[in-house]
Amino acid sequence: MSRCSECKSRDLRKVRVNHLRLVGTLEFRGTVPAFRCGSCGMLFYDGPGLVAFDRNVAKKLALAGVATGEALKFMRKMLGMRAGELAYLLRLTPEAISRMETGRTPADLRTVALLSAMVLEKLRGDRATRDRLEAMAKIEAVREERIESYRHRIKKLPPGPERDRHQEALRDWLTMGPKRRESLAELYMAARD
């Protein structure tokens, strides 16, 4: 910044000013860098200084495991994520994220823990949790696509015992644990042919 936007003076002085950030009912106080015009007294906050302050607030929220809707929204925004993106990673609906952020439903422990981990990692320059969640979400999407494809193939089979066997296998596969799914995957492969 080289001039005051109010009086156009070039007499800008670096100062530190007290700053308050409210996240719901929680108050976070500190000082941030700013510029004060020597002519008119107008105060201009330093953008990177405010970002650093907000990152520190997000860090404190994450370390404390604060589970209020306002805290979740603040941390999500600090990550630069839309609610839909977070919902995709956590395998929730955007509406579920919205209900948590507005306080209509309490945030579950899993959501708080994963969001806090992503915030703390971002502050360290890491993305391990986010990368794992993205990979898991892609795997789940492929799984859902394969299930839908299998359902479609079953519908094409003529009515009879073979079709019934595949329908039962799909029901079992959807309700069983991963170990049973591996053996039932062979049935899926047979239905593809």
Predicted pLDDT of residue 186? 55
Where a domain ends, among 126, 154, 177?
Answer: 126
Q: pTM for the complete prediction? A: 0.77
Is residue 117 located within the same domain as residue 148?
Answer: no
Is residue 20 located within the same domain as residue 113?
Answer: yes
Q: Number of C-alpha atoms within 13 angstroms, CB side, residue 41?
A: 0
Where a domain ends, among 73, 100, 126?
Answer: 126
User: Sign of the C-alpha dihedral, residues 37, 43, 47, 50?
Assistant: positive
Q: State how far the Cα of 142 lies from the Cα of 135, in Å rounded to an integer.
A: 11
Judge whether 19 lies within some domain: yes
Is residue 83 located within the same domain as residue 153?
Answer: no
Predicted pLDDT of residue 94? 95
Predicted pLDDT of residue 189? 55
Judge whether 163 lies within some domain: yes
Those residues of the chain that have pLDDT short of 50 are none
Q: Which domain holds residue 161?
A: 143-192
> For tokens 């609610």, what's the residue?
83
Judge whether 135 lies within some domain: no
Predicted pLDDT of residue 169? 81
Predicted pLDDT of residue 131? 95
Domain CATH code at residue 95:
1.10.260.40
Can you give the chain as a three-state secondary structure string? CCCCCCCCCCCEEEEEEEEEEEECCEEEEEEEEEEEECCCCCEEECHHHHHHHHHHHHHHHHHHCCCCHHHHHHHHHHCCCCHHHHHHHHCCCHHHHHHHHCCCCCCCHHHHHHHHHHHHHHHCCCCHHHHHHHHHHHHHHHHHHHHHHHHHHHHHCCCCHHHHHHHHHHHHHHHCCHHHHHHHHHHHHHHHC
Predicted pLDDT of residue 179? 53
Looking at the 3D structure of the chain, how many domains does it have?
2
Judge whether 138 lies within some domain: no
